[in-house]
Structure 1
Amino acid sequence: MSHERIQRVQHLYQHLDRDSLSQPLLAMVYDQQILFSDPLHQVHGLPELHRYFERLYRSVDGIRFEYGDAISNQNRDFLPWQMHYRHPRIGGGRWITVEGGTVLEWNHHRVIRHQDLFDAGQMLYQHLPVMGTAIRWLRKRLA
């Protein structure tokens, strides 16, 4: 059971892009009352999640995920991943790799809570011109 639900989430994100994104597609995996959060955003409800993904996928030039082995129990899964993305105004438009993971809570075969865990500096801040230089310097000093 948990293997099948993880596969549905992976399949969604492996095929999700600005052209395929739709609320009915998201409804195949997410509950209408989904609570979605990451270090930069929090959204509640399927319509709001759809709007968030519309903005996200419209702004990137490419995005793809590689998944590790999920850890599962009754109604909760942890799915580690590497996200590779390109954004025209971040990192000079180069591919950026971010390591993270997702906590998924399920309600009747649909995700009711999705929490992405990742380093926002690794994803965004260290790739911005002024802030990125300062963060990279600070990380070297602390290492």
Structure 2
Amino acid sequence: MSRRTIRTLVFIVIASLITIGCLARGGTMSNFDESEYDGAMQRFQGSTEAIDEGVQAFVAAYGDLTQADLRERMTALYAPELYFNDTIHTFNDREALVDYMSRTGDSLEQSSVDVKQVLRDGNDVFLRWSMEFRSSVAGKDIHSRSIGMTHLRFDGAGRVVLHQDFWDSGHALYAQLPVVGFFVRRAHNRM
């Protein structure tokens, strides 16, 4: 077999394992699906009653994902029925989302999300942020920095019912991973 064939097979195996792992945890692998997002915006109209409290809770929960009480913060932050898409996973169930966020926090050595700007338009809230995290994968230290925006809607109690992230997870996350990162960076450089 050629080196190119071996690399392709390795990439397929790793991508398959990532996908299987995600599906086994109750989420779905996804990029942006406009019809799913549009449907969620129709289903979860949101409320203006407790937006300020909801934004404060969001900033506190995401400010440091390594917090010991992250599970409790995420459970309080999100409504039981919701739409969540972070460009990597989609969740409609709070417990599955809380498990995912807890595992994410457990895998990080350091994490910070700095909200730079909050924009409100009726029941819609848009947060512009920068994110930085440190972790280790397969013995490799990963230090990632990225920017993005999150569209949020809250229920009357200030809990998130709609969460759609807009950021380049491929460059900020996958490009940092051993083996997979090689292929992501290579594809990015060819574009």
TM-score, normalised with respect to structure 2: 0.64
What is aligned with 1:6? Answer: 55
* Cα deviation, residue 92, structure 1: 3.1
Figure out how many residues of one structure are paired with residues of the other and give that number: 141
SS state at 1:87 partner: strand
Calculate percent identity across the aligned residue pairs. 27
| Alignment CA distance shift 1:19-1:73 (3 Å) | same
What is aligned with 2:171? Answer: 122
What is aligned with 1:97? Answer: 145
Distance in 2 (CA, whole Å) between partners of 1:91 and 1:99 is 26
Choose the corresponding residue for 2:123, options 75, 79, 93.
75
Choose the corresponding residue for 1:21, options 26, 49, 70.
70
Q: What RMSD over aligned residues (CA atoms) do the two structures have, in Å?
A: 2.3
Q: Which structure 1 segments of 5+ residues have no match?
A: none
| Alignment CA distance shift 1:95-1:71 (3 Å) | same
**Per-residue CA distance 1:13-72 (angstroms, 9 max, x = gap):** 22543521234x324322111221111101112211111112111211121111111111
TM-score, normalised with respect to structure 1: 0.82
Q: Which structure 2 segments of 5+ residues have no match?
A: 1-49
1:111 maps onto 2:160 in alignment:
yes
- Higher-helix-fraction structure: 2
Distance in 2 (CA, whole Å) between partners of 1:90 and 1:83 is 22
- From the CA coordinates, give the structure whose radius of gyration is larger: 2
Choose the corresponding residue for 1:86, options 134, 138, 155.
134
